[in-house]
Amino acid sequence: MRPSKRDELVRKALVIFYRDGFHATGMDALVAETGISKTTMFKHFRTKDDLILAVLRYRDETFRNWFFRKLDDAALPPRQRLLAVFDILKEWFAEPSFKGCMFIKASAEFQDPQHPVYVQSAEHKRLLKSAFQEMAEEAGATDPDLLARQLLLLKEGAIVAAHMGFDPDPAGAARLAAEVLIAAQLGS
């Protein structure tokens, strides 16, 4: 089935916003790169912020689906599943298109905690934390909430380090730290 113009616009805008940023990308640049007219854009999205929100929702869905499908496909026991998070990150960091986390970037550009773009970015992280907490519960962690928060912090730090290039193996370093945290919660 052929994607709708709206879906096509969201997918193309994601690539452009991810590469160039949200504020730095004007509607004229979107028109030029997507080949979709301003009239069509505004038919589907009242404002640029509405388009950004649609892009973030799409990215959230596609990223989490990809990430957790990779975890599911590995069919690992719960403890190893927690560590596999960092193996998947390493794979993502190696992709030529990797440019950091779109949600970290969005929250940096839209810093008002009440702004819908910031709220959507925070929701993505909340959903990841919730999934990590479920995994920690399945593994038998003594404090699944704490372990989930710790693993999310390691994940986010690894993303920043990979994007900025100041660590030769940020996913590997985060995985080693995760091993210590997991052992503290689950025993050796």
Kindly report the CATH number assigned to the domain that includes residue 77.
1.10.357.10
8 Å CB contact between 54 and 60: no
- The pLDDT of residue 90: 98
C-alpha 19/C-alpha 55 separation (Å) is 13
For residue 160, being part of any structural domain is answered with yes
The answer to the question of residue 40 being in a domain is no
**Predicted TM-score (pTM) above 0.85:** yes
Answer yes or no: are the C-beta atoms of 161 and 167 closer than 8 Å.
yes
Q: Is residue 104 part of a domain?
A: yes
The answer to whether residue 10 is domain-embedded is: no
Task: Report how far residue 177's alpha carbon sits from residue 188's, in angstroms, rounded to the nearest whole number.
Answer: 14
Q: Which position has the token pair 């404002």?
A: 47
The number of distinct structural domains making up the chain is 1
| 46 found inside a domain | no
pLDDT tens-digit map of 56-89: 999 999 999 999 999 999 999 999 999 999 999 9
CA dist., res. 11 & res. 161, Å (int):
26
102 phi-psi bin (left φ>0, alpha ψ -120 to 50, beta other)? alpha
- Contact predicate 185/147, CB 8 Å: yes
Residue 1 has pLDDT above 60, yes or no: no
Share of the chain above pLDDT 90, in %: 93
In a domain, 31, yes or no: no
pLDDT for position 187: 84
In a domain, 75, yes or no: yes
What is the model's pLDDT at position 4?
86
Cα Rg of the chain, angstroms: 18
Give the structural domain span for 110.
53-186
Q: For position 19, what pLDDT does the model report?
A: 95
Q: Is residue 136, in this structure, part of any structural domain at all?
A: yes
- Which positions ≥6 away from 178 have C-beta within 8 Å? 82, 83, 85, 86, 150, 151, 154
For residue 174 the two structure tokens come to 């985060």
d(CA 67, CA 57): 15
What pLDDT does residue 5 have?
86
Per-residue pLDDT at 99 exceeds 70: yes
